[in-house]
Chains A and B, each alone.
Chain A
Amino acid sequence: MKAQRIFLWLVAAMFFLCSVHTRGLRRCLISMDIHHIEETFQEIKKTIQAKDTFQNVTILSTPETLHSIKPLDVCCMTKNLLAFYVDKVFKDHQELNPQILRKISSIANSFLYMQKALQRCQEQRQCHCRDEATNATRIIHDNYDQLEVRSAAIKSLGELDVFLAWIDKNHQGPSAA
């Protein structure tokens, strides 16, 4: 009986810690204007996705990646994917159209700001990377590397709506005001 009670307490404590972790990320990202980034992307989505020549392939949306991420891994996964876009995708994409370049610049600079905000949160709370998050990130990088660089970059840009919707879903919470 005593052992059962202790076990239940441990489960409750773990559950509480998990929710605090996820709430922590939500509080982190609440001060960012994700909807503005989504609106900016919507303006160029059609043009970007029309340039994707490998429509049957996905980089972000495989079953083992974003959609299988558990709440405990959300912070790490967000950090990794922001780095993926900032360090890889935006650099590999060469945009000549000034209108599109303006929008991509806006998104890239917003991601940079999100990275800094997440960094500040990480210093206060743990944003520990478990194997699940590390493996999911590695799969995304592998998917990217299997394609030619420019095709991979344009496809990843086209899947920004998937990433932003995922952040939004994991970030639902009250306004900072």
Chain B
Amino acid sequence: MWFFYALIPCLLVDGVAVLPAPQNLSVQSTNMKHLLMWSPVVVPGEIIHYFVEYQGEYESLYMSHIWIPSSWGSPTKDPECDITDDITATVPYNLRVRASLGSQTSAWSTLQHPFNRNSTILTPPVMEVTKDGFHLVIKLEDLGPQFEFLVAYWRREPGAKEHVKVVRSRGIPVHLETMEPGVAYCVKVRTFVKAIGRHSPFSQAECVKVQGETLPLALALFAFVGFMLILVVVPLSIWKMGRLLRYSCCPVVVLPDTLVMLFFFPFGMTLTSC
């Protein structure tokens, strides 16, 4: 009986039940972004805050009493915490969460299996393939400094050789090749994360083509027509201008017949005034 009475202070704090610990801790990790999640602790009408702490393998082996507060997720009102900036080495990390409401705190709830970032899911990267005139240009999504991209491209014809280019720049268009008109070029890309030594799957191949002879021919034709027009129009204009000038400076005056008959018999004369 005394044992039961002795337990009562452990179960009640200031006459109020202790907060339940968060349950169902899990980590979702995609492309080296790690999110710790748990089932929310519900107390009607109250806002619960959560504290998240982590412990790398070094701490668990050499200083097991050391737990480090998460840089972003502590405290948080949402039942999730971005632990990307905490998981900075490729070793197993222990993670724990507890709930807090005013002066009450729950027990710590620990992730069942330590999380290692080498288990992150790597997805095929998003790429945008464009033509800049005859230039094959690719733009890749920015996944952060830990990623580099392996870009494979080839001419879509039998026996064509596949070229590979390693791209470390992020979000900046990259020139791959100057394309030959009328030939299709295909591109696919995957990522490599040096910190965990893994590649993502390749993206779907995308192919582009620069139009063949039609464009230069159209341009040549247009240029020829324009040139011929210039050859005809310019001399015609010069001739017309000349005539205009001549007549404005030195107009030809013709007397009417009646005056010619009157003043100059029997001949009609043309007077030219200058």
Contacts and interface: CB of A to CB of B under 8 A. Distances in A.
Taking residues whose C-beta sits less than 8 angstroms from the other chain, chain B's interface range is: 20 to 34
B118 to A, nearest CB: 10
A107 to B, nearest CB: 8
Contact of B58 (A36, A90, A98, A176): A90
B68 A108 contact: no
Given A102-B86, A105-B68, A176-B192, 4 more contacts: A102-B71, A109-B88, A110-B89, A177-B192
A112 B194 contact: no
Interface in A102-148: 102, 105-106, 108-113
Contacts of B86: 102
A86 B88 contact: no
A33 B56 contact: no
Interface in A71-121: 86, 90-91, 98, 101-102, 105-106, 108-113
Interface in B81-120: 86, 88-91
A23 B148 CA distance: 23
Contacts, number: 62
Contacts of A31: 194, 197
Contact of A33 (B63, B69, B166, B195): B195
Contacts of B58: 86, 90, 105, 108-109, 111-112
B57 A112 contact: yes
Contacts of B192: 176-177
Given A91-B62, A105-B58, A177-B194, A112 B150 contact: no
Interface of B: 56-59, 61-63, 66, 68-69, 71, 86, 88-91, 146, 148, 150, 166, 192, 194-195, 197
A175 interface: yes
Q: Which 6 A-B pairs have the closest CB atoms?
A: A109-B89, A109-B56, A106-B88, A108-B58, A110-B89, A109-B58
A153 B166 CA distance: 41
Given A112-B91, A177-B194, A105 B150 contact: no
Contacts of B90: 113
29 contacts: A33-B146, A33-B194, A36-B88, A86-B62, A90-B62, A91-B62, A102-B68, A105-B58, A105-B59, A105-B68, A106-B88, A106-B89, A108-B56, A109-B57, A109-B88, A109-B89, A109-B91, A110-B89, A112-B57, A112-B61, A112-B89, A113-B89, A113-B90, A175-B148, A176-B194, A176-B197, A177-B150, A177-B192, A177-B194
Given A98-B69, A109-B58, A112-B58, A177 B91 contact: no
A40 interface: yes
Nearest to B92: A109
A23 to B, nearest CB: 18
A176 B166 CA distance: 11
Task: Identify the interface centre among B63, B71, B90, B91: most chain A CB within 10 Å of its CB.
Answer: B90
Contacts of A40: 88
B140 to A, nearest CB: 14
A109 B91 CA distance: 7
A106 to B, nearest CB: 4
Nearest to B116: A113
Interface string A149-177: 00000000000000000000000000111
B68 A98 contact: yes
A114 B52 CA distance: 27
A90 B86 CA distance: 18
A175 B90 CA distance: 18
Nearest to A91: B62
B169 to A, nearest CB: 14
Contacts of A90: 58, 62
A112 B59 CA distance: 11
B92 to A, nearest CB: 10
Task: Identify the interface centre among A40, A108, A109, A175: most chain B CB within 10 Å of its CB.
Answer: A109
Contacts of A176: 192, 194, 197
